[in-house]
């Protein structure tokens, strides 16, 4: 067994906000006698972007604060202190390294531009002898088991899925042991409030289909409830296109997005459920959706910053418009399409929208209104509780015809409404004004 280092290891949390199945945490605790952790509420993620939207609006901000409060408790139970700062990492990590004699930084491997830029800024402030240990910790299928060359990733999902299911195994879950009591250090830092981030406190909308709080404990509670208490997972494929309520879909995406739960944790729980109650199309379909999530990450690894470009990964030269009046009407649910409007109002009021809704409003924005799809993607980034950079931009490229849809489809929102909201229940929920 490897001998533990005398100096301290620092775990820098990013979108891996959990203690279970966290490779950075595992490596740090295996290699060091002392371990501390840090999380940054980086001010740049609360600024307004080039399209005029705040990168993180109030819904995800609140969910994130709840997540960090949960993470701090769970780490404390393992005798690990979590320091939290409302600072840019590059302004603070070097002082933490000096204060606590840090000799290695463990963090989740990132590859999109903003995160890479932050890494470079941090490394420029550190002495040369502090290495970064990074691991791809947000996948179902770990990249090291998939390919040495991401340029080989197929541009059609089905080809990717069939090959990966046949040839790659999913790794086991990693766990860590509790550290000695003397590993805890004095912590004078405080977790930010909504007001610190520039938001007023707000009450959750009673009609929300996502009434859940942030954090690993909440994620695991939902997992257990959806699988073993209600057994709704056994009907997922039949209900997943629903629009109202908590149980038409798994709702795992928000916790997956900030890493409160790992894709592997969900996968192995499905296998546990199947062993006890039997497998069916629905239990497989949850895995199928996790593979889609992986796929957009591999597409991002293959194409790098092309996923943010107007021509997408296909480099299509379509003419896109940028009409602020049309865009504002789409945002506020004031278009000519009542199904689109109901979904957009749900997003504005709750930070949540169903998968069926997202496909329709995105297609309407890009293919009907002919607006620059990146503006729609940017608004989703701001508002969605479950914003994930790769899935968001991958899906927007897909519906805009500049991504991975080989058929370049356009959604008929009228027919979609007739099929998925036959009795107008969803539209009534969000479009009718109530007195109470």
Contacts of 46 (CB under 8 A, 6+ apart): 54, 55, 56, 61, 197, 198
- pLDDT, greater one: 408 or 243: 243
- Is 250 labelled as part of a ligand binding site? yes
Residues 36 and 111 in one domain: yes
What CATH number does residue 74 fall under? 3.40.50.620
Q: Are residues 373 and 342 in the same domain?
A: yes
Q: Which of 136, 158, 185 is the endpoint of a domain? A: 136
Classify residue 88: in a domain, yes or no: yes
Query: In the chain, how many domains are there?
Result: 3
Residue 300 shares a structural domain with residue 313: no
According to DSSP, the β-strands at 82-85 and 5-13 are unpaired
Token look-up 């729980």 returns 269
* Pair 24, 106: CB distance under 8 Å: yes
323 belongs to an annotated ligand binding site: no
Q: Are residues 351 and 205 in contact, defined by beta-carbon separation less than 8 angstroms?
A: no
3-class DSSP state of 12: strand
The reply, when asked if residue 251 is annotated as ligand binding, is yes
3-class secondary structure, 332:
coil
Average pLDDT score over residue span 40-52: 95
Alpha carbon 144 to chain centroid distance? 21
Kindly report, residue by residue over 318-327, the tens digit of the pLDDT: 999 999 999 9
Cα 339 to Cα 249, 364, 382, 411: the distances in Å are 19, 10, 22, 12
Which positions ≥6 away from 309 have C-beta within 8 Å?
315
Whether residue 424 sits in one domain with residue 332: yes
Residue 239 annotated in ligand binding: no
What mean pLDDT comes out for the span 48-54? 94
Give the whole-angstrom CA distance, residue 23 versus residue 38: 15
Which residue stretches of 143-280 are H helix? 143-146, 157-167, 216-224, 236-239, 253-257, 263-277
Task: Examine the domain organization and report whether 416 and 352 are in the same domain.
Answer: yes
The answer to whether residue 264 is domain-embedded is yes
Domain end point (choices 287, 306, 325): 306
**Has 253 been labeled as part of a binding site?**
yes
Longest CA–CA separation in the chain, Å = 67
298 annotated ligand-binding residue = no
Domain-embedded: residue 223 = yes
Q: Is 213 annotated as a binding residue?
A: no
* Same domain membership, residue 374 and residue 314: yes
d(CA 221, CA 5): 36
Residue 332 lies in a domain: yes
Task: Check which CATH number belongs to the domain holding 286 and give it.
Answer: 1.25.40.80
Domain, as residue range, for 70: 7-136
- With beta carbons less than 8 A apart as the criterion, state whether 252 and 219 touch: yes
94 and 26 within one domain: yes
Would you say 96 and 10 are in contact if contact means Cβ atoms under 8 Å apart? yes
**Do the domain assignments include residue 144?**
no
21 part of a folded domain: yes
- 348 and 251 within one domain: no
> 373 and 409 share a domain?
yes
Query: 120 and 241 share a domain?
Result: no
Residue 436 has pLDDT above 50, yes or no: no
Residue 435 has pLDDT above 50, yes or no: no
pLDDT for the residue numbered 129: 81
45-51 average pLDDT score: 94
Q: Residue 380 is part of a domain; what is its CATH number? A: 1.10.579.10
Residue 161 lies in a domain: no
Q: What is the mean pLDDT of residues 56-77?
A: 98
Instruction: Look at residue 356 and tell me if it is in a domain.
Output: yes
Residues 375, 423 within the same domain: yes
236 in a known ligand binding site: yes
Torsion of CA 119, 120, 126, 130, to 10 degrees: 60
Say yes or no to pLDDT of 271 above 70. yes
130 φ/ψ angles, rounded to the nearest 5 degrees:
-105, 100
Which pLDDT belongs to residue 134? 96
pLDDT in tens, 245-265: 999 999 999 999 999 999 999
322 and 398 assigned to the same domain: yes
Structure tokens at 18: 């959990």
387 is in an annotated binding site: yes
Report angle CA 289, 291, 296 to the nearest 5 degrees: 100
Which two three-digit tokens encode residue 56? Answer: 């993180």
Given 83, 117, 136, which residue is the final one in a domain? 136
Q: What is the pLDDT of residues 217-229, one digit of tens each?
A: 999 999 999 999 9
- 71 pLDDT above the threshold of 50: yes
pLDDT tens, residue by residue, 334-385: 999 999 999 999 999 999 999 999 999 999 999 999 999 999 999 999 999 9
Q: Classify 45 as helix, strand or coil.
A: helix
3-state secondary structure of 141: coil
DSSP one-letter string for 156-196: SHHHHHHHHHHH-PPPPPP--PPPPGGG-------PPPTTT
């Amino acid at each position: 067994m490897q001998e533990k280092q005398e100096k301290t290891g620092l775990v820098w949390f990013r979108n891996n906000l959990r203690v279970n199945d966290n490779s950075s945490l595992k490596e740090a605790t295996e290699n060091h006698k002392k371990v501390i952790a840090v999380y940054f509420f980086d001010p740049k993620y609360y600024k307004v972007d080039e399209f005029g939207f705040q990168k993180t609006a109030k819904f995800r901000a609140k969910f994130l604060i709840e997540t960090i409060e949960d993470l701090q408790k769970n780490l404390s139970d393992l005798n690990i202190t979590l320091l939290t700062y409302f600072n840019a990492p590059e302004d603070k990590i070097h002082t933490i390294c000096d204060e606590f004699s840090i000799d290695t930084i463990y963090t989740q491997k990132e590859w999109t531009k903003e995160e890479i830029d932050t890494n470079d800024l941090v490394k420029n402030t550190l002495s040369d002898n502090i290495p970064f240990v990074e691991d791809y910790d947000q996948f179902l299928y770990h990249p090291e088991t998939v390919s040495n060359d991401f340029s080989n990733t197929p541009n059609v999902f089905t080809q990717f899925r069939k090959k990966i299911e046949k040839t790659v195994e999913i790794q086991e879950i990693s766990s860590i042991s509790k550290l000695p009591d003397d590993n805890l250090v004095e912590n004078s830092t405080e977790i930010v409030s909504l007001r610190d981030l520039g938001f007023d406190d707000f009450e959750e909308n009673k009609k929300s289909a996502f009434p859940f709080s942030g954090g690993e404990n909440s994620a695991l509670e939902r997992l257990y409830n959806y699988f073993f208490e209600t057994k709704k997972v056994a009907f997922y494929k039949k209900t997943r296109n629903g629009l109202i309520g908590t149980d038409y879909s798994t709702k795992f995406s928000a916790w997956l997005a900030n890493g409160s739960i790992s894709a592997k944790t969900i996968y192995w729980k499905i296998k546990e459920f199947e062993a006890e109650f039997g497998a069916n199309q629905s239990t497989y379909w949850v895995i199928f959706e996790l593979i889609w999530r992986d796929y957009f990450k591999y597409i991002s690894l293959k194409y790098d910053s092309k996923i943010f470009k107007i021509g997408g990964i296909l480099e299509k030269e379509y003419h896109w418009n940028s009409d602020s009046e049309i865009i504002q009407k789409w945002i506020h649910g004031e278009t000519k399409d009542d199904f689109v409007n109901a979904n957009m109002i749900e997003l504005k009021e709750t930070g949540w929208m169903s998968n069926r809704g997202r496909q329709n409003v995105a297609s309407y924005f890009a293919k009907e209104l002919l607006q620059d799809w990146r503006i729609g993607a940017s608004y989703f980034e701001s508002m969605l509780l479950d914003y994930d950079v790769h899935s968001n931009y991958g899906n927007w490229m897909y519906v805009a015809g500049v991504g991975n849809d080989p058929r370049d489809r356009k959604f008929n929102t009228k027919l979609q409404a007739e099929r998925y909201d036959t009795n107008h229940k969803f539209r009534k929920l969000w479009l009718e004004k109530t007195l109470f």
